Amino acid sequence: EVQLVESGGGLVQPGRSLRLSCTASEVTLRNFAMTWVRQAPGKGLEWVSSISGSVGSTYYADSVKGRFTISRDNSKNTLYLQMNSLRDEDTAIYYCATVSSGSFPYWGQGTLVTVSS
């Protein structure tokens, strides 16, 4: 069974940076496209970013483009989300998930990011 575990969340001041990690077990991440999805408190799901499996092409929501960077370290079987210039509205639970033909079959349990002064 594929297991994804996110880490790196926490309380951060506006304007600061944070890096989230997503570590996988029972699956080799380099073989998969991966994605980050977030959910603000009491709100719906918002797609954040995706990275393709082979070429490593990256895609970003307009709300984070230029501030967030998705990447992967195949040697560590880990997916990352580098978040810079954080804003109050970036406060959310951040989930990583695998991508299969456009759907997201496997999800982690999420890590909470709170942006507040």
Residues that bind other proteins (CB under 8 A): 35, 37, 44-47, 50, 59, 61-62, 95, 100-105, 107-110
Strands (DSSP E) along the chain, which ranges?
3-7, 10-12, 18-25, 33-39, 45-51, 58-60, 68-73, 78-83, 92-99, 111-115
Q: How far is the CB of 15 from other proteins (least distance, A)?
A: 26
> Minimum Å distance from CB 80 to other proteins?
19
- Residue whose CB is less far from other proteins, 18 or 37: 37
Least Å from the CB of residue 45 to other proteins: 5
Q: Which is nearer to other proteins, 35 or 115 (CB)?
A: 35
Task: Please choose, from the candidates 42, 38, 44, 51, the residue with its C-alpha nearest in 3D space to the C-alpha of residue 87.
Answer: 38
